[in-house]
Structure 1
């Protein structure tokens, strides 16, 4: 049963009902207090009651922190997700309680971020935030609806279609030659990427015990998709691996991610190559492989794409080449 009383300039509603914990809330007007009390009593009667004090007491900052400490470390992309969460924790949005976290608050965050970052970044951030709130609702019994579900996401940016030309490849490899303290690992790393369409992370994680030069295969125990994959190696790929001089155990490429990235960026600058990312080598390799493997199922088996839709983002046939096929 609800009781309403005035406390200074506020109105306090208190509900006590057998079998439920007491509910207390303070409002600016008596009408708001009565309305809230009727809604809570109605939800108790219908069996849809949820204790709102949990959502009132917890801020978004606290929920983000708990998720980052308990859930994020169990993920493969833990480092990147933790960076995204820490950034959100620096925004004023996290000061809201979970009960007050409305779609309008999140939409305001979206609009503010769009002034400085790309739509793709915002889409990833909203996806992280939505996943955290969904987890809190399911696992921690947070009694709120997910406000992210009502927030419009920016249009997804068009995928990159930058390919490395034959002339650029020659200039890039020339600038990667191991002279003047340049890394001896970069030429085999780049040429193997162009020959196999393997991701940079997959190449840097490649180990000799998973390479069978005789069978022309390389096992990737864990890929971006969370599954293992056996990559078929061409004769050229085998030759590239045979030129690598190390102890033939442990990691194939003895170079860190950041060093490889810096070497690649610097070589592109020296070669006068603009707007080229290392991941564009995967696009280039996929398009080249498609000329040898017109069967998309076989092509996907080599590149590791799990859907044809994703494969289409990486396969960029030239209109001239298609015209030749048409006759």
Structure 2
């Protein structure tokens, strides 16, 4: 893939490394339907889930198609398509289980206390977690944005190269820093500036892996079972809907271009409908004036 001017991203590079390890000795023209099915079964035994295996098979097809189209090799991607059908019938390729895990208010408060009481913790984890919910940003985005990406006058933040199924390079997006989710993103950025004592470089100059590790450890300590940092993005997205924003408005914050994907990330709590209904009901004064 590097030869066409686009080096693979980290996730795709990891897939290529796996393929090289497991199929590197095979000649590309010898990858028939049965060998690909056997490969799929082996990967499943290794622990690869339906989505991961689907990605593997997709990359194999991409390589074969590239070899045929660009280099003129007399090979067809048809065996890959047949192998995919077989692996789908075997239940080894399919859609992943959609997560609907949202942290409760009590869990968040327990996490905040855990972070704040840990004197050895150098990361401002409470601020980072609140910012994740406030902006619905991914962890790597939070640890990547810089002070130069901040529009102070408009209270907007530019996120460069946001994740995109097609190509994230150049997929830049400006998002508002507001308090619609219950946490004030602008106030958190201001607080971070005071904490650092400077406003150059990255806003959150921390290793994303270290942040993820600190979050997981705290979840274990406070018994917040099966809670992932990425669930905070789900939480922020859901809170925006619960605040009454329409799907096209929420997408301006989350960066989703496919509204169906955005709907998958939305898990609105039924009890919030009472608040929405109350906010839309006409006031008694307005009703009397109309009479």
Are 2:80 and 1:148 aligned?
Answer: yes
Task: Please state how far the C-alpha of 1:306 moved relative to its aligned partner.
Answer: 0.4
CA distance in structure 1 between the partners assigned to 2:241 and 2:235 by the alignment: 10
* Residue 251 (structure 1) aligns with: 202
The question of whether the paired residues in 2 share the 8 Å contact of 1:177 and 1:184 is answered with no
Pairing 1:124-273 to 2, within 5 Å after superposition: 124-146=55-77, 147-151=79-83, 152=85, 153=88, 154-177=93-116, 179-225=118-164, 226=168, 227-235=171-179, 236-244=184-192, 245-246=195-196, 247-273=198-224
The question of whether the paired residues in 2 share the 8 Å contact of 1:213 and 1:238 is answered with no
Deviations 1:141-161 (A, max 9, x none): 221001222222412122111
Task: Please state how far the C-alpha of 1:74 moved relative to its aligned partner.
Answer: 2.0
Q: SS state of the match for residue 143, structure 2?
A: helix
Distance 1:221 1:323, change over 3 A: same
The question of whether the paired residues in 2 share the 8 Å contact of 1:137 and 1:143 is answered with yes
Task: Please state how far the C-alpha of 1:323 moved relative to its aligned partner.
Answer: 7.6
Residues 169-178 or 102-111, more deviating: 169-178
The question of whether the paired residues in 2 share the 8 Å contact of 1:185 and 1:254 is answered with no
Higher strand share: 1
Segments of 4+ moved more than 4 angstroms: 322-327
Are 2:71 and 1:120 aligned?
Answer: no
Distance 1:112 1:323, change over 3 A: farther
Return 5+ residue gaps in structure 2 as ranges: 279-291
* Residue 268 (structure 2) aligns with: 317
Pairing 1:294-309 to 2, within 5 Å after superposition: 294-309=245-260
The question of whether the paired residues in 1 share the 8 Å contact of 2:244 and 2:276 is answered with no
Residues 124-133 or 257-266, more deviating: 124-133
Task: Please state how far the C-alpha of 1:88 moved relative to its aligned partner.
Answer: 1.9
Distance 1:183 1:114, change over 3 A: same
The question of whether the paired residues in 2 share the 8 Å contact of 1:72 and 1:82 is answered with no
2:32 paired residue among 102, 107, 117: 102
Q: SS state of the match for residue 113, structure 1?
A: helix
Return 5+ residue gaps in structure 1 as ranges: 1-66
The question of whether the paired residues in 2 share the 8 Å contact of 1:219 and 1:231 is answered with yes
Q: SS state of the match for residue 205, structure 2?
A: coil
* Residue 20 (structure 1) aligns with: none
Residues 180-189 or 156-165, more deviating: 180-189
Deviations 1:101-122 (A, max 9, x none): 1011111111121122211211
The question of whether the paired residues in 1 share the 8 Å contact of 2:135 and 2:253 is answered with yes
Q: Which protein has greater RCO, CA pairs closer than 8 Å, 6+ apart?
A: 2
- May I ask how many residue pairs the two structures share in their alignment? 257
CA distance in structure 1 between the partners assigned to 2:117 and 2:191 by the alignment: 14
TM-score normalised by length of structure 2: 0.82
Pairing 1:41-56 to 2, within 5 Å after superposition: none
Are 2:19 and 1:85 aligned?
Answer: no
Task: Please state how far the C-alpha of 1:94 moved relative to its aligned partner.
Answer: 3.5
CA distance in structure 2 between the partners assigned to 1:263 and 1:232 by the alignment: 27
CA distance in structure 1 between the partners assigned to 2:5 and 2:17 by the alignment: 12
CA distance in structure 1 between the partners assigned to 2:141 and 2:277 by the alignment: 37
Task: Please state how far the C-alpha of 1:283 moved relative to its aligned partner.
Answer: 0.5
TM-score normalised by length of structure 1: 0.73
Pairing 1:14-93 to 2, within 5 Å after superposition: 67=1, 70=3, 74-75=7-8, 77=9, 79-91=10-22, 93=23
CA distance in structure 1 between the partners assigned to 2:61 and 2:29 by the alignment: 15
The question of whether the paired residues in 1 share the 8 Å contact of 2:242 and 2:273 is answered with no
